[in-house]
Amino acid sequence: MAPLVLTAILMIVPLAAGTLFIALSRAMPVVLWTDALIFLLLAAMAAYFWYVRRHEHLAAPWRRVAASSVGMSALVVLLAFIAVGLIDSLHFRPRLAQPGAGGEDVHAVQVLSLLDELARGLRSRAERTYSAPLATRAYSKEMLELADGTQVRDFPRLAHGGAHLKDESGRSRDILARCLAALALALACWGVLAAVLAAALARRSRARFGDTWRALLGARTRVPWRAMLITAGVLLAVAFPAAALSARYHVLGTDKVGQDVLYLALKSIRTGLVIGTLTTLVMLPLSVLLGIMAGYFRGWIDDLIQYAYTTLNSIPAVLLIAAAVLMVQVQIDTHPELFPTAAQRADLRLLFLCIILGLTSWTGLARLLRGEALKLRELEYIQAAHAFGVSHARIITRHILPNVMHLVLIALVMDFSGLVLAEAVLSYVGVGVDPSTISFGTMINAARMEMAREPMVWWALLAAFTFMFVMVLAANLFADAVRDAFDPRLRMGN
Amino acid sequence: MTESVLRVEGLKTELEGSGATVRAIDGVELDLRRGETFAIVGESGCGKSMTALSILRLLPETGRIVAGSVAMEGTELLSLPEAAMRGVRGRRIAMIFQEPATSLNPVLTVGTQVAEVLMRHAGLRGEAARRRALDLLDAVGVPDPARRLGEFPFQLSGGLKQRVMIAMALAGEPDLLIADEPTTALDVTIQAQVLDLLRALQRERGMSILLITHDLGIVARMAHRVAVMYAGQIVEMAERGRFFSAPQHPYTLKLFAALPGAGKRGGQLAVIPGQVPPLTGEFAACRFAERCEFAFDRCRSATPAWAALGEGHEVRCFLRETRRAEPLGSGRAPSAGPAGAPLASGESGAARAKPLLAVRDMKVHFPIRRGLLRRTVGHVRAVDGVRLDLAAGRTLALVGESGCGKTTVGKAILQLVRPSAGAVSFEGVELTALRGEALRKRRNEFQIIFQDPYASLNPRMRVADALGEGMMALGTETDHVAVERRIDELLAQVGLPREAKYRYPHEFSGGQRQRIAIARALAVRPKLIVCDEPTSALDVSVQAQILNLLKSLQRELGLAYLFITHNIAVVEYLAHDVAVMYLGRIVEAGGAEEVLRSPKHPYTQALLAAVPRIEAAGEEEFARLEGELPSPVNPPAGCHFHPRCPSATAKCREAYPEAVRLSPTHAVNCILYREQTNGG
């Protein structure tokens, strides 16, 4: 269960730091709807794992997950994304410099997140328009007035990208030097991380540090710590140079209005995570309750529920979602007084998108659970419970639900990546998130025009694609590990 | 007879488990002669099936053969390339499996599947293959083979499917047929048909059969030579006659002593203490020593080698080396035959006057709904007018083949399935009239034990929770302390340690789980327990423990058992009264003595005759029941049994025969008998 503790630390540290920062800077904390739900979800997960730790039969499959090197490496990547998403979920309204008339604190109308604060440089160093990754000059020629008053048509220098360079020919060397310095720092951090890990492991198993260290390097530990360390090392080796370069350059270029694409990609992570997790939160009670009820009670209840989801399934999902989103949008637009800030309005729309997606996607899991409940209700321990006169509610909660939880869990993890992709598709079609919300979908939507330009602007699409790909791949690999560990049919031969 | 077909030497197979290597087979030697049936007996997990799969090199992915040789008429099979091995499988060695339902491909017709084998091994195609397939189906006794060729497996009954499997196995004209529990999934009457077929085919074709079974009765009926396997090794090998008359290995003796039967009625069945040792390590001692009552110092310090006792009788036991072929006192003779101790008498009138449970004319019909509006187009008459009486402290055995409605009777008595008609009176209270809360209040008085100890306990509930569930739901105990105390008491009653209560079901063996299931039923202090085949999923030695437990519980607590089973030996051992069921109706009922010793109904007679018995070893011919159980959707007119009955007359087709009383307790539904006569 050690990876769980590690996960908990990774989650709690940034959250605590963020809260502290908000309190110290006397900003006004803002809890958006999705923030609240995310924290609720975190609390639920923490409670679940705390419960699992105390129950051997529940902990055993998680232990198998923890022993899978692919799964755990994917988890490391996923955790990095989740950490970014969580930092981006602490919202506040910064305090303005000059106090109000009565000396009280006045707060800006703009809602920022901790990520915005940390990436203030990225956010504020905007260019006028497109610039390629790591460029020092703009992407298209403009009329420039030289010092002597003559006008030439040339690529202008960027306001921020590489502005510190006196001589642009030194750019490569500068980049290389910064990268190397960052890599050295990354290596040092990684070494510290590995040493701390080995020390912690040694302390826990009461072994000598040297032995633990050798076991770690030889991949002889039960939890694949070496694979996880290597993944973390790769992540650090990418993140540190990117961070170092982003102080002086636009690592992934800028978009049409000159915003740093790296910043956009980082902001998109939260949107994807919110859609992927909150949707399941909406979907879960529906599919679990209705699916089990249909299978357990059969008869007219089964007919009714089956009829409901067959009908729902026969309507094209995109149409249904589009109709619902448009209705919500009209409601939001006609009641501007309900939303003090633009961020809150965008957030509510995001939440409704989750709810709508949840309402349209519960059918798959419900059908699966119906089949399982149909099978379980004929099992002898359920018959024995009937013979004891145990009530239906109790049979469902004590006998059926615990025996379908592995299916629910597998479905949850597998659905996550599908939902992240669904958001991108819906936003591309224009029925997804609010246009002011930064998401992979809106980035890709914008890229539609950019790809048609001459010369082509490729970096925004590439950045969105890479970030989404890595996140979904990590989620899928982790989901595979979970399924392998939980699905009894896949566990042949042990 | 002495020409060797298959010689296995020093065969060792290992299975890669999680963390440890299991030595599933550890040095098996056997020598199969042409035209003989060689039986391997043993309890589950002893390596019988692994031996068969190793011979055919069809091991699961985790298994590998580490040593030994398997020679088929001089050809070493273990070193053949896989392509050549495919020619051996089906052509020289064929195999039939336990479960005919899953051995046939459900989306291909029978003809296609037989033709496939013919094409592979005989190179026949088209019309030639069809003709040969017809011959084969005819040879295995499939009626109307031309029609069956075009049918799909789901259209065939279990017995027919197994016949088709045998036909496919014969298609390559193999020298050796490996039959892995070929009749375990079949009813006794069908089992008798299939065993007869195998024997006839062997006689015609001079084929050798390697028969794998756990049933000593089948061994007695089929085998020429027998090998007993224990913990991955053969421990005794002998000709059939010697094996049954003078078994030598203590394990074999225990197996015989654990078999239930009429002869052991009064007493306890022998049990083998302890469990099969884990097969993960190297054995430095006799692997049975820990459980053997004759074990002495040497058994624990060295592994016994083969000791030849003459006439091909060999045994791995130090006792035999020192004291040659001297009979061991206890359990030498396999169970006494039907001529043994008297069965329970049918009278005891006082108890009979006041029955605990009285079932009258109970019917359970399941509607068949078709079409858009789900209109009822017919009924499955699972139970069609059943009459039963059961007094406190007695055991009524309900006997019949699968599909005859026995289990439905049990569930209908407990009101788990509501009867469509009739009366179920329990201590004078009419259960069918009770609804909701009133029924729930009485539920503690009747409980059920199921067949499969793996499906009858919720894997996610600790033992204490499972035992406590009924007490909580029915409020039979006053508070938590009382519940806890009762759980401890129950565990002691069924012979489990107190620590068991905080563990999960998967930590227990099959027999222990069945004990937990019994404790769960006992928890609410019932007066009646419906036992639905409680031992049929268990090994013989474990079955003995459970039967002993049930018997002692009955003595202590005065429980009444409705014992649903198809195992006649268990009935002989346990039952006071017997009711024989056929297609939803009781055809004969009476005291165990009356029904089992002098069966009157032709069906009862055929059913009892079909049971393979150790005592009947070598006896050949007796009345065979032809055909199979008809569908309860559309039962035959008149007496349901007449299409299969050897004594059927035209009158049998006209009306269902009334019950005829042959004695105060013995009744039979057959026109062959008249009131108070001794029948014809």
> Which pLDDT score, from 0 to 100, does residue A400 have?
92
In Å, how far is A429's CA from the nearest CA of chain B?
40
> Which pLDDT score, from 0 to 100, does residue B321 have?
66
In Å, how far is A485's CA from the nearest CA of chain B?
13
Asked if A394 lies within 8 A of B473 by C-beta distance, the reply is: yes
Cβ neighbours of A316 (radius 10 Å): 9
CB B354 within 8 A of CB B391: yes
Beta bridge partners of B386: B362
- Spatial distance between the Cα atoms of B413 and A151, rounded to a whole number of angstroms: 103
Distances (CA, A) of A361 to A326, A366, A439: 18, 9, 21
- Spatial distance between the Cα atoms of B295 and B301, rounded to a whole number of angstroms: 11
Residue of B nearest to A390 (CA): B473
Distances (CA, A) of A27 to A97, A108, B102: 11, 9, 69
- Note if the bond before A455 is cis, omega within 30 degrees: yes
Q: Which domains does chain B have, with CATH numbers?
A: 4-92+174-322 (3.40.50.300), 349-668 (3.40.50.300)
> Which pLDDT score, from 0 to 100, does residue A322 have?
87
CB contacts, 8 Å: A57 with chain B: 459-460, 504, 506
Mean pLDDT value across chain B: 85
Residue of A nearest to B507 (CA): A57
> Which pLDDT score, from 0 to 100, does residue A8 have?
73
Residue of A nearest to B505 (CA): A57
In B320-356 the beta strands, taken as DSSP E runs, fall at: none
CB B503 within 8 A of CB B512: no
Q: Specify the amino acid at residue A70.
A: V
Select the residue of A56, A387, A394 nearest B447 (Cβ to Cβ): A387
In Å, how far is A58's CA from the nearest CA of chain B?
9
Select the residue of B17, B440, B456 nearest A389 (Cβ to Cβ): B440
Asked if A388 lies within 8 A of B470 by C-beta distance, the reply is: yes
CB B222 within 8 A of CB B244: no
Select the residue of A57, A379, A492 nearest B460 (Cβ to Cβ): A57
> Which pLDDT score, from 0 to 100, does residue A123 have?
87
Select the residue of B16, B416, B457 nearest A387 (Cβ to Cβ): B416
- Spatial distance between the Cα atoms of B180 and B39, rounded to a whole number of angstroms: 10
In Å, how far is A7's CA from the nearest CA of chain B?
27
Select the residue of B443, B456, B506 nearest A388 (Cβ to Cβ): B443
CB contacts, 8 Å: B59 with chain A: none
Sequence-distant (6+) residues with CB within 8 A of A320 are A312, A356, A360
Span of B347-351, B507-511, B538-542, B547-551 with lowest mean pLDDT = B347-351
Q: Is residue A401 less than 8 Å (CB to CB) from chain B?
A: no
Residue B520 has pLDDT above 90, yes or no: yes
In Å, how far is B538's CA from the nearest CA of chain A?
16
- Spatial distance between the Cα atoms of B354 and B348, rounded to a whole number of angstroms: 11
Expressed in angstroms, the distance from the first to the final Cα of chain A is: 21
Residue of B nearest to A391 (CA): B473
Q: What is the ipTM of this complex?
A: 0.80
- Spatial distance between the Cα atoms of A480 and A69, rounded to a whole number of angstroms: 12
Give phi and psi for A442, each to the nearest 5.
-70, -35
Residue of A nearest to B458 (CA): A381
Asked if A381 lies within 8 A of B458 by C-beta distance, the reply is: yes
CB B405 within 8 A of CB B581: yes
Asked if B416 lies within 8 A of A402 by C-beta distance, the reply is: no
Q: Is residue A387 less than 8 Å (CB to CB) from chain B?
A: yes
The upper half-sphere exposure of residue A363, i.e. CA atoms within 13 Å in the direction of its Cβ, equals: 16
Asked if B450 lies within 8 A of A380 by C-beta distance, the reply is: yes
Average pLDDT over residues B449-466: 87
The upper half-sphere exposure of residue A346, i.e. CA atoms within 13 Å in the direction of its Cβ, equals: 13
Residue B325 has pLDDT above 60, yes or no: no
Select the residue of B455, B457, B469 nearest A390 (Cβ to Cβ): B469
**Structural domain spans, chain A:** 268-477
Residue of A nearest to B531 (CA): A384
Asked if A387 lies within 8 A of B18 by C-beta distance, the reply is: no
> Which pLDDT score, from 0 to 100, does residue A28 have?
85
CB A483 within 8 A of CB A489: no
- Spatial distance between the Cα atoms of A364 and A288, rounded to a whole number of angstroms: 11
Cβ neighbours of A150 (radius 10 Å): 8
> Which pLDDT score, from 0 to 100, does residue A304 have?
93
Q: Report which of B333, B263, B268 is spatially closest to residue B544, judged by C-alpha positions.
A: B268
Q: Report which of B547, B518, B623, B680 is spatially closest to residue B196, judged by C-alpha positions.
A: B623
pLDDT per residue over B185-206, tens digit each? 788 888 888 888 899 889 988 8
CB contacts, 8 Å: B474 with chain A: 388-389
- Give just the sign of the alpha carbon dihedral B477, A54, A8, A77: negative
Sequence-distant (6+) residues with CB within 8 A of A37 are A278, A281, A351
> Which pLDDT score, from 0 to 100, does residue B335 have?
41
Span of A448-462, B54-68, B279-293, B346-360 with lowest mean pLDDT = B346-360
Beta bridge partners of B589: B579, B667
- Spatial distance between the Cα atoms of A340 and B134, rounded to a whole number of angstroms: 85
* Run of H or E residues at B410: helix B406-413
Asked if B451 lies within 8 A of A380 by C-beta distance, the reply is: yes
Average pLDDT over residues B631-657: 86
3 state SS of B377: strand
Q: Which two tokens stand for residue B409?
A: 């009777």
Q: Report which of B367, B378, B361, B549 is spatially closest to residue B449, judged by C-alpha positions.
A: B549
> Which pLDDT score, from 0 to 100, does residue B517 have?
93
- Spatial distance between the Cα atoms of B9 and A150, rounded to a whole number of angstroms: 101
CB contacts, 8 Å: A381 with chain B: 455-458, 466
CB A240 within 8 A of CB A183: yes
Superfamily of domain A268-477: MetI-like (1.10.3720.10)
In Å, how far is B324's CA from the nearest CA of chain A?
43
Residue of A nearest to B529 (CA): A387
What is the total residue count of chain B? 680
User: pLDDT-derived band of residue B617, with 50, 70 and 90 as boundaries?
Assistant: low
Query: Among A380, A391, A400, which would you mutate to test the B interface (most chain B Cβ atoms within 10 Å of its Cβ)?
Result: A380
Q: Which residues of chain A have pLDDT under 50?
A: 492-494
Q: Specify the amino acid at residue B63.
A: G
Q: Which two tokens stand for residue A252?
A: 């992934």
CB contacts, 8 Å: A380 with chain B: 450-452, 455-456
In Å, how far is A379's CA from the nearest CA of chain B?
6
Asked if A389 lies within 8 A of B443 by C-beta distance, the reply is: yes
3 state SS of B536: coil
In Å, how far is B673's CA from the nearest CA of chain A?
40
- Spatial distance between the Cα atoms of B263 and B334, rounded to a whole number of angstroms: 10
Residue of A nearest to B455 (CA): A380
Q: Is residue A306 less than 8 Å (CB to CB) from chain B?
A: no
Q: Report which of B153, B177, B161, B170 is spatially closest to residue B118, judged by C-alpha positions.
A: B170
Q: At what angle do helices A401-429 and A440-452 cross, to 10 degrees?
A: 30
Radius of gyration of chain B (CA): 26
Asked if A57 lies within 8 A of B459 by C-beta distance, the reply is: yes
Q: Which two tokens stand for residue B484?
A: 């806890």
Q: At what angle do helices A33-53 and A261-297 cross, to 10 degrees?
A: 60
- The three-state DSSP-derived secondary structure of chain A is CHHHHHHHHHHHHHHHHHHHHHHHCCCEEECCHHHHHHHHHHHHHHHHHHHHHCCHHHHHHHHHHHCCHHHHHHHHHHHHHHHHHHHCCCEEECECCCCCCCCCCCECCCCEEHHHHHCHHHHHCCCCCCECCCCCECCCCEEEECCCCCEEEECCECCCCCCCCCCHHHHHHHHHHHHHHHHHHHHHHHHHHHHHHHHHHHHHHCCCHHHHHHHHHCCCCCCCHHHHHHHHHHHHHHHHHHHHHHCCCCCCCECCCCCEHHHHHHHHHHHHHHHHHHHHHHHHHHHHHHHHHHHHHCHHHHHHHHHHHHHHHHCCHHHHHHHHHHHHHHHHHHCHHHCCCHHHHHHHHHHHHHHHHHHHHCHHHHHHHHHHHHHHHCCHHHHHHHHCCCCHHHHHHHHHHHHHHHHHHHHHHHHHHHHHHHHHHHHHHCCCCCCCCCCHHHHHHHHHHHHHCCCCCCHHHHHHHHHHHHHHHHHHHHHHHHHHHHCHHHCCCC
Expressed in angstroms, the distance from the first to the final Cα of chain B is: 45
User: pLDDT-derived band of residue B679, with 50, 70 and 90 as boundaries?
Assistant: very low
- Give just the sign of the alpha carbon dihedral B232, B237, B240, B244: negative
Residue B47 has pLDDT above 50, yes or no: yes
3 state SS of B434: coil
Residue B623 has pLDDT above 70, yes or no: no
Q: Which two tokens stand for residue A305?
A: 């529920």
Q: Which residue has the higher pLDDT, A187 or B297?
A: A187
Residue of A nearest to B62 (CA): A493
Query: Among B446, B469, B513, which would you mutate to test the A interface (most chain A Cβ atoms within 10 Å of its Cβ)?
Result: B469
pLDDT per residue over A57-82, tens digit each? 778 888 888 888 999 999 999 999 99
CB contacts, 8 Å: B451 with chain A: 380
Asked if A384 lies within 8 A of B448 by C-beta distance, the reply is: yes
Select the residue of B411, B452, B474 nearest A389 (Cβ to Cβ): B474
Which residue is listed with tokens 């009858």?
B456
Residue of B nearest to A395 (CA): B469
Asked if B456 lies within 8 A of A402 by C-beta distance, the reply is: no
- Spatial distance between the Cα atoms of B304 and B249, rounded to a whole number of angstroms: 12
CB contacts, 8 Å: B450 with chain A: 380, 383-384
Q: Which residue has the higher pLDDT, B158 or A7?
A: B158
Residue B447 has pLDDT above 90, yes or no: yes
Q: Which two tokens stand for residue A337?
A: 């007084």
CB B387 within 8 A of CB B422: no
Cβ neighbours of B189 (radius 10 Å): 22
- Give just the sign of the alpha carbon dihedral B62, B64, B70, B74: positive
Average pLDDT over residues B395-399: 93
> Which pLDDT score, from 0 to 100, does residue A13 have?
79
Which residue is listed with tokens 């919500």?
A328
